[in-house]
Every structure is written in C-alpha cells, then in structure tokens.
Structure 1
Amino acid sequence: MAGGNFVHRVMSYVVNELVVNALANSPAFQRFAVRTSRRMEDISSKAVQKRQELNELVKDLSKNFENFKNQ
C-alpha cells in the first residue's frame, strides 16, 4: 500500500512539473495570466472605491437622520 502511495506521489510530481513548465513557456497562457491579473486589480480598486462611496453615503444618511430626529 505504501509503495502505491509513493508511486502516485512521484507521478503526480512529474505531471505537475510538466504542466507548470508547459504553461510557463506558453505565450498564450502568459497573456491570459496578465489580462486576468489586470482585471482582478481593476475589480479590486473599483470595490475599494465603491466601499468608500458607500461609507460616505451611510455617514450622510446617519447625519441627516440625526438632524431629522433632533428637530
């Protein structure tokens, strides 16, 4: 049983190395990776911007509610 596990791990390592090397040397995959990375950065920056806008909106609503409540 342990021998089968060892063989499986060796095969998995070899296949993993082949796949990683093939992808690392593939211009198409590199373009895909760069585009994906840029899109994720854009989405992250938009999320931060929207979070800030939402925080400002909540502050304004809270301030307006307090003003309304005090009248």
Structure 2
Amino acid sequence: MAGGNFVHRVVSYLVNEVLVEGLANSRTFQRFAVKTSKSMEEISSMAAKKRQEIAEQVKEMSRNFESKNH
C-alpha cells in the first residue's frame, strides 16, 4: 500500500514538472495568460467604476428622499 502511494506521488510530481515546464515555455499559453490577466483587470476596473456610480446614485436618491420628507 505504502509503495503504491510513493509511486503515485513520484509520477504525480513528474507529470506536474513536465506540465509546468511545457506551459511555461509555450508561447500560446503565455499569450492566453496575458490576455486573461488583462481581461480580468478590465472587468475589475469596470466593476469598481459601476460600484462607484451606483453608490453615488444611492446617495442622490437618499438626499432627494430626505428633502421631500422634510
């Protein structure tokens, strides 16, 4: 049982090393990673802007509501 676990760990390590090296040296994967990173940054930026816009709208609505009730 223990020998099988050891062999599994060695094979898993070797596959991971080959996979990581292969992806690290792949131009296609590098382009994919850069595009994905840029897309995530853009989405994050758009979300922050939208969150700010909504916060400002809520403040304005709150002011309008308060001024109508006083």
Q: TM-score, normalised by structure 2?
A: 0.96
SS at match of 2:14: helix
Q: Does 1:46 align with 2:46?
A: yes
Runs of 4+ aligned structure 1 residues displaced above 4 Å come to none
Aligned partners of 1:13 and 1:3: how far apart in 2?
A: 15
Query: How far off is 1:4 after superposition?
Result: 1.1
* Alpha-carbon displacement from aligned partner over 1:33-52 (angstroms, at most 9, x marks no partner): 00000000000000100000
Structure 1: give runs of 5+ residues left out of the alignment: none
Q: Does 1:11 align with 2:3?
A: no
Aligned partners of 2:18 and 2:9: how far apart in 1?
A: 14
Aligned partners of 1:48 and 1:9: how far apart in 2?
A: 43
Calculate percent identity across the aligned residue pairs: 64
How many residues align? The count is: 70
Question: Which structure 2 residues correspond to residues 27-42 of structure 1 after superposition, within 5 A?
Answer: 27-42=27-42
Structure 2: give runs of 5+ residues left out of the alignment: none
Query: How far off is 1:13 after superposition?
Result: 0.5
